[in-house]
Chains A and B, each alone.
Chain A
Amino acid sequence: DTAVSQTPKYLVTQMGNDKSIKCEQNLGHDTMYWYKQDSKKFLKIMFSYNNKELIINETVPNRFSPKSPDKAHLNLHINSLELGDSAVYFCASSQQTGYGETQYFGPGTRLLVL
Protein backbone atom coordinates (compact mmCIF):
# COMPACT_ATOMS: atom_id res chain seq x y z
CA ASP A 1 0.00 0.00 0.00
CA THR A 2 1.36 3.41 -0.97
CA ALA A 3 1.79 5.64 2.07
CA VAL A 4 1.49 9.01 0.32
CA SER A 5 -0.06 8.99 -3.12
CA GLN A 6 -0.60 11.76 -5.66
CA THR A 7 -2.70 12.00 -8.78
CA PRO A 8 -2.02 12.62 -11.51
CA LYS A 9 1.62 11.68 -11.91
CA TYR A 10 2.02 13.79 -15.03
CA LEU A 11 0.04 16.86 -16.06
CA VAL A 12 0.51 18.73 -19.33
CA THR A 13 -1.71 21.72 -19.90
CA GLN A 14 -2.00 25.09 -21.59
CA MET A 15 -1.36 28.49 -20.06
CA GLY A 16 -4.46 29.96 -18.51
CA ASN A 17 -6.06 26.64 -17.62
CA ASP A 18 -7.10 25.58 -14.13
CA LYS A 19 -5.90 22.25 -12.76
CA SER A 20 -5.94 20.25 -9.53
CA ILE A 21 -3.53 17.80 -7.96
CA LYS A 22 -4.77 15.37 -5.35
CA CYS A 23 -2.86 13.91 -2.43
CA GLU A 24 -3.84 11.18 0.00
CA GLN A 25 -1.96 9.62 2.89
CA ASN A 26 -2.90 6.40 4.66
CA LEU A 27 -0.41 6.78 7.51
CA GLY A 28 -2.86 8.32 9.94
CA HIS A 29 -0.77 11.50 10.08
CA ASP A 30 -2.13 14.83 11.25
CA THR A 31 0.01 17.13 9.10
CA MET A 32 0.33 17.42 5.34
CA TYR A 33 2.49 19.62 3.11
CA TRP A 34 2.93 20.79 -0.44
CA TYR A 35 6.43 21.42 -1.79
CA LYS A 36 7.47 22.72 -5.20
CA GLN A 37 10.64 21.46 -6.92
CA ASP A 38 11.82 23.71 -9.74
CA SER A 39 13.83 22.83 -12.81
CA LYS A 40 17.07 23.16 -10.83
CA LYS A 41 15.72 20.63 -8.33
CA PHE A 42 15.38 23.23 -5.58
CA LEU A 43 12.64 22.31 -3.12
CA LYS A 44 10.53 24.89 -1.33
CA ILE A 45 7.59 24.60 1.04
CA MET A 46 4.31 26.01 -0.22
CA PHE A 47 1.71 25.06 2.37
CA SER A 48 1.17 22.91 5.38
CA TYR A 49 -2.04 21.81 7.06
CA ASN A 50 -2.51 20.32 10.48
CA ASN A 51 -5.75 18.44 10.97
CA LYS A 52 -7.40 20.39 8.13
CA GLU A 53 -6.19 23.75 9.41
CA LEU A 54 -3.78 25.89 7.38
CA ILE A 55 -0.50 26.34 9.26
CA ILE A 56 1.94 27.58 6.65
CA ASN A 57 1.29 29.69 3.56
CA GLU A 58 4.72 30.50 2.26
CA THR A 59 3.96 33.59 0.17
CA VAL A 60 2.50 31.56 -2.63
CA PRO A 61 0.46 33.41 -5.30
CA ASN A 62 -3.28 33.47 -4.71
CA ARG A 63 -3.72 31.36 -7.84
CA PHE A 64 -2.68 28.40 -5.70
CA SER A 65 -5.37 27.24 -3.31
CA PRO A 66 -4.93 24.20 -1.10
CA LYS A 67 -7.94 22.36 0.23
CA SER A 68 -8.05 19.74 2.95
CA PRO A 69 -11.42 17.96 3.07
CA ASP A 70 -10.14 15.71 5.85
CA LYS A 71 -6.81 15.09 7.49
CA ALA A 72 -5.94 12.29 5.07
CA HIS A 73 -6.29 14.48 1.98
CA LEU A 74 -4.67 17.69 0.82
CA ASN A 75 -5.45 18.86 -2.68
CA LEU A 76 -3.86 21.68 -4.62
CA HIS A 77 -5.84 23.73 -7.09
CA ILE A 78 -4.06 26.08 -9.45
CA ASN A 79 -5.91 28.80 -11.37
CA SER A 80 -4.77 30.56 -14.52
CA LEU A 81 -1.66 28.46 -14.97
CA GLU A 82 1.52 30.24 -16.03
CA LEU A 83 4.69 28.96 -17.68
CA GLY A 84 6.56 29.46 -14.40
CA ASP A 85 4.28 27.00 -12.66
CA SER A 86 5.98 24.16 -14.52
CA ALA A 87 7.63 22.11 -11.80
CA VAL A 88 7.34 18.94 -9.79
CA TYR A 89 4.90 19.23 -6.90
CA PHE A 90 5.40 16.95 -3.91
CA CYS A 91 2.94 16.19 -1.21
CA ALA A 92 4.26 15.04 2.16
CA SER A 93 2.88 14.12 5.55
CA SER A 94 4.15 13.81 9.12
CA GLN A 95 2.72 12.46 12.33
CA GLN A 96 2.49 15.89 13.89
CA THR A 97 3.59 19.45 13.24
CA GLY A 98 6.57 19.05 15.47
CA TYR A 99 10.20 19.85 15.22
CA GLY A 100 12.18 16.93 13.98
CA GLU A 101 9.18 15.04 12.66
CA THR A 102 9.98 12.83 9.69
CA GLN A 103 8.10 13.86 6.57
CA TYR A 104 7.03 11.16 4.14
CA PHE A 105 6.88 12.24 0.52
CA GLY A 106 4.66 11.22 -2.33
CA PRO A 107 6.05 10.35 -5.78
CA GLY A 108 5.44 13.83 -7.16
CA THR A 109 3.28 15.35 -9.88
CA ARG A 110 5.18 16.64 -12.88
CA LEU A 111 3.37 19.69 -14.22
CA LEU A 112 4.26 21.11 -17.60
CA VAL A 113 2.55 24.33 -18.71
CA LEU A 114 2.77 25.06 -22.44
Chain B
Amino acid sequence: AQSVTQLGSHVSVSEGALVLLRCNYSSSVPPYLFWYVQYPNQGLQLLLKYTTGATLVKGINGFEAEFKKSETSFHLTKPSAHMSDAAEYFCAVTPIYNQGGKLIFGQGTELSVKP
Protein backbone atom coordinates (compact mmCIF):
# COMPACT_ATOMS: atom_id res chain seq x y z
CA ALA B 1 0.00 0.00 0.00
CA GLN B 2 1.09 3.50 -0.74
CA SER B 3 2.63 5.36 2.19
CA VAL B 4 4.26 8.68 2.95
CA THR B 5 6.95 9.24 5.55
CA GLN B 6 7.92 12.60 6.93
CA LEU B 7 11.19 12.51 8.80
CA GLY B 8 10.97 14.50 11.99
CA SER B 9 7.69 15.25 13.68
CA HIS B 10 9.10 18.55 14.89
CA VAL B 11 11.64 20.86 13.26
CA SER B 12 12.89 24.05 14.87
CA VAL B 13 14.82 26.75 13.01
CA SER B 14 15.87 30.31 13.69
CA GLU B 15 14.30 33.18 11.82
CA GLY B 16 16.23 33.68 8.59
CA ALA B 17 17.58 30.13 8.53
CA LEU B 18 16.98 27.51 5.87
CA VAL B 19 13.88 25.41 6.25
CA LEU B 20 14.10 21.76 5.15
CA LEU B 21 11.20 19.40 5.70
CA ARG B 22 11.67 15.86 4.46
CA CYS B 23 9.18 13.63 2.71
CA ASN B 24 9.60 10.18 1.19
CA TYR B 25 6.99 8.08 -0.51
CA SER B 26 6.74 4.39 -1.21
CA SER B 27 5.61 3.44 -4.67
CA SER B 28 7.01 1.68 -7.68
CA VAL B 29 5.14 4.18 -9.82
CA PRO B 30 5.73 7.81 -8.86
CA PRO B 31 2.53 9.33 -7.55
CA TYR B 32 1.40 12.90 -7.66
CA LEU B 33 2.87 14.79 -4.71
CA PHE B 34 1.62 17.64 -2.57
CA TRP B 35 2.64 19.79 0.35
CA TYR B 36 -0.08 21.32 2.50
CA VAL B 37 0.26 23.71 5.44
CA GLN B 38 -2.04 23.89 8.44
CA TYR B 39 -1.94 26.95 10.67
CA PRO B 40 -3.28 26.54 14.22
CA ASN B 41 -7.01 25.86 14.34
CA GLN B 42 -7.37 26.21 10.59
CA GLY B 43 -7.88 23.99 7.59
CA LEU B 44 -5.21 22.87 5.17
CA GLN B 45 -3.87 25.09 2.42
CA LEU B 46 -1.98 23.89 -0.62
CA LEU B 47 1.64 25.07 -0.74
CA LEU B 48 2.64 23.33 -3.96
CA LYS B 49 2.23 20.16 -5.95
CA TYR B 50 4.06 18.03 -8.48
CA THR B 51 2.19 16.18 -11.19
CA THR B 52 4.36 16.14 -14.31
CA GLY B 53 7.05 18.25 -15.93
CA ALA B 54 9.74 20.21 -14.12
CA THR B 55 10.86 18.42 -10.98
CA LEU B 56 11.56 21.63 -9.06
CA VAL B 57 8.23 23.07 -8.06
CA LYS B 58 7.73 26.55 -6.67
CA GLY B 59 4.85 27.28 -4.36
CA ILE B 60 3.39 30.05 -2.28
CA ASN B 61 5.17 31.97 0.48
CA GLY B 62 8.62 31.28 -0.98
CA PHE B 63 8.50 27.50 -0.57
CA GLU B 64 9.72 25.05 -3.16
CA ALA B 65 10.13 21.30 -3.42
CA GLU B 66 12.08 18.98 -5.67
CA PHE B 67 10.81 15.64 -6.88
CA LYS B 68 13.62 13.08 -6.97
CA LYS B 69 12.44 9.81 -8.41
CA SER B 70 15.66 7.95 -7.66
CA GLU B 71 15.36 8.85 -3.98
CA THR B 72 11.53 8.64 -3.84
CA SER B 73 11.63 12.01 -2.15
CA PHE B 74 9.82 15.33 -2.30
CA HIS B 75 11.52 17.53 0.29
CA LEU B 76 10.20 21.01 1.02
CA THR B 77 12.58 23.97 1.39
CA LYS B 78 12.54 27.68 2.00
CA PRO B 79 15.76 29.71 1.99
CA SER B 80 14.86 32.00 4.87
CA ALA B 81 12.32 31.22 7.58
CA HIS B 82 9.84 33.81 8.83
CA MET B 83 8.01 33.72 12.11
CA SER B 84 4.78 33.41 10.14
CA ASP B 85 5.97 30.05 8.74
CA ALA B 86 5.36 28.36 12.08
CA ALA B 87 2.72 25.74 11.34
CA GLU B 88 2.13 22.05 10.68
CA TYR B 89 3.25 20.81 7.27
CA PHE B 90 1.87 17.74 5.56
CA CYS B 91 3.26 15.87 2.61
CA ALA B 92 0.67 13.89 0.67
CA VAL B 93 0.34 11.73 -2.42
CA THR B 94 -2.38 10.78 -4.81
CA PRO B 95 -1.47 7.40 -6.28
CA ILE B 96 -1.70 7.51 -10.05
CA TYR B 97 -3.79 4.35 -10.25
CA ASN B 98 -5.98 5.32 -7.35
CA GLN B 99 -9.65 5.81 -7.91
CA GLY B 100 -11.39 8.64 -6.20
CA GLY B 101 -8.46 11.00 -5.96
CA LYS B 102 -7.90 10.48 -2.26
CA LEU B 103 -4.91 12.07 -0.59
CA ILE B 104 -2.66 9.87 1.52
CA PHE B 105 -0.93 12.01 4.10
CA GLY B 106 2.30 11.75 6.00
CA GLN B 107 2.20 12.17 9.75
CA GLY B 108 3.03 15.86 9.58
CA THR B 109 5.97 18.00 10.67
CA GLU B 110 5.50 20.85 13.08
CA LEU B 111 7.76 23.77 12.19
CA SER B 112 8.78 26.17 14.94
CA VAL B 113 10.60 29.41 14.14
CA LYS B 114 12.69 31.03 16.86
CA PRO B 115 13.31 34.80 16.86
Query: Considering only CB atoms, which chain B residue lies closest to A57 in the complex?
Result: B100
B82-94 near A? 1/0 per residue, CB < 8 Å:
0000001010101
**Using Cβ atoms and an 8 Å threshold, which residues of chain B touch A40?**
107
**Using Cβ atoms and an 8 Å threshold, which residues of chain A touch B107?**
40-42
Query: Considering only CB atoms, which chain A residue lies closest to B43 in the complex?
Result: A105
A99 touches B90 (CB 8 A): no
A100 touches B94 (CB 8 A): yes
**Using Cβ atoms and an 8 Å threshold, which residues of chain A touch B56?**
none
> B54: shortest Cβ distance to chain A, in Å?
14
B94 touches A99 (CB 8 A): yes
Q: How large is the interface on A (under 10, 10 to 19, 20 to 34, 35 or more residues)?
A: 20 to 34
In the complex, the number of residue pairs spanning A and B with C-beta atoms less than 8 Å apart equals: 72
Query: Considering only CB atoms, which chain B residue lies closest to A107 in the complex?
Result: B43
Given A105-B43, A108-B42, A45 contacting B102 (CB threshold 8 A): yes
**Using Cβ atoms and an 8 Å threshold, which residues of chain A touch B90?**
43
Interface residues of B in 57-115 (CB under 8 A from A): 88, 90, 92, 94-96, 98-105, 107-108
A56 touches B43 (CB 8 A): no
**Using Cβ atoms and an 8 Å threshold, which residues of chain A touch B92?**
43
> A96: shortest Cβ distance to chain B, in Å?
8
Residue B27 at the chain A interface, CB threshold 8 Å = no
Residue A69 at the chain B interface, CB threshold 8 Å = no
Can you sample 5 A-B contacts with CB below 8 Å? A31-B101, A43-B103, A90-B43, A94-B101, A99-B32
Task: Give the interface of B toward A (CB within 8 A).
Answer: 32, 34, 36, 38, 41-46, 49, 51, 88, 90, 92, 94-96, 98-105, 107-108
Given contacts A42-B105, A98-B101, 4 further A-B contacts (CB under 8 A): A40-B107, A48-B101, A101-B94, A102-B46
